[in-house]
Structure 1
């Protein structure tokens, strides 16, 4: 659960606050679809929402989701871990991850775990949809050795999703329809009426 954050602009005296808890995230054609609950205060009942953003997502969200790709590959048993498997935060993913993308995730109850959803592009251009088994963050038996790293990486993605819900998106500028404004006067020619 995130902290109380402003809905309307930073440091605005009119800003109201809310707590957003993200449940499901889906990314398609650079547009975010999200299911979440929102509470105005800690003791207010949560209200459920499903939202598809009309704006394209910010590159920070794309980057945050790309950091989940190694976890998708390990949890779905698509690749095995090697010494150079984990990239640094700033660098691009290694070439072995190129066919893979994370297209969303579903959070467990009380955000205590996650199921990653993604795709692998096959050599023929076809797409293999991947869904990982649910991975609990409180798993005492340790079936997935990178649970702590997964939880940290997912927290960054959740922060970016919440920022997108609060208006962070790709800046775009609509181009002018015409290069320069010109005024063309079309003379009015009355048409005869039929009788």
Structure 2
């Protein structure tokens, strides 16, 4: 894994002791294992925010896909796709129960000042077709408590936001493409002894 970047957007020359910028995620989407994101970045808390839209070319790290998968039960309840069962909420380390196999989270959109969220996902139907799902906006400060698990949603989303920020700073799957041709001086060179000279 590469070192995480202190600044994501275009940066002036920074010393080695640069403090990380402040990133505020507005939208995140994962498609074909690549992250697309809209966010603002501030070099300090007093600097004006700069808006960015970025699509990463690297594949997302497994930690990000795991964090997004934890939002699937919320997607199912908020879109009224499934009813809650005793094994509905898995532990963080567990895989999702089988009843969630046909559901995936593809992204989310944050409300103003991160006061709520809209989840976006999919359900694969029996014929192989895909049903796109979008939850109603769920406020975290909802006084009428229309969703019983708002606190759990907020905590789970905070983990996903942290993983999206880490992805923006360089956390991705570490893979190395092999060279097409062997390079001179590589360890795999075949050495042929030369005949002794007289």
* TM-score category, normalised to shorter length: 0.7 to 0.9
How big is the shift at 1:13?
3.1
TM-score normalised by length of structure 1: 0.85
Match of 1:77 in 2: 80
Query: Is the counterpart of residue 93 in structure 1 residue 111 in structure 2?
Result: no
Higher normalized contact order (CA 8 Å, seq sep 6+, divided by chain length): 2
Query: Is the counterpart of residue 110 in structure 1 residue 143 in structure 2?
Result: no
Counterpart Cα distance in 1 of 2:75 and 2:189: 52
Contact between 2:5 and 2:170, CA under 8 Å: does it hold in 1?
Answer: no
Query: Is the counterpart of residue 24 in structure 1 residue 23 in structure 2?
Result: no
Counterpart Cα distance in 1 of 2:169 and 2:21: 11
How far does the alpha carbon of each residue in 1:83-129 deviate from its partner, in whole angstroms, 9 at most, with x for none? Answer: 11101110100000000000000000000000000000000000000
Match of 1:160 in 2: 163
Contact between 1:59 and 1:170, CA under 8 Å: does it hold in 2?
Answer: yes
How big is the shift at 1:173?
1.2
Match of 2:122 in 1: 119
Query: Is the counterpart of residue 147 in structure 1 residue 150 in structure 2?
Result: yes
Distance 1:32 1:109, change over 3 A: same
Q: Which runs of 5+ in 1 are unaligned?
A: 183-195
Q: Secondary structure at the match of 1:20?
A: strand
Contact between 1:6 and 1:16, CA under 8 Å: does it hold in 2?
Answer: no
Counterpart Cα distance in 2 of 1:95 and 1:109: 34
Q: Secondary structure at the match of 1:17?
A: coil
How far does the alpha carbon of each residue in 1:23-72 deviate from its partner, in whole angstroms, 9 at most, with x for none? Answer: 00011000000000001111111100000001000000000000000000
How big is the shift at 1:176?
3.0
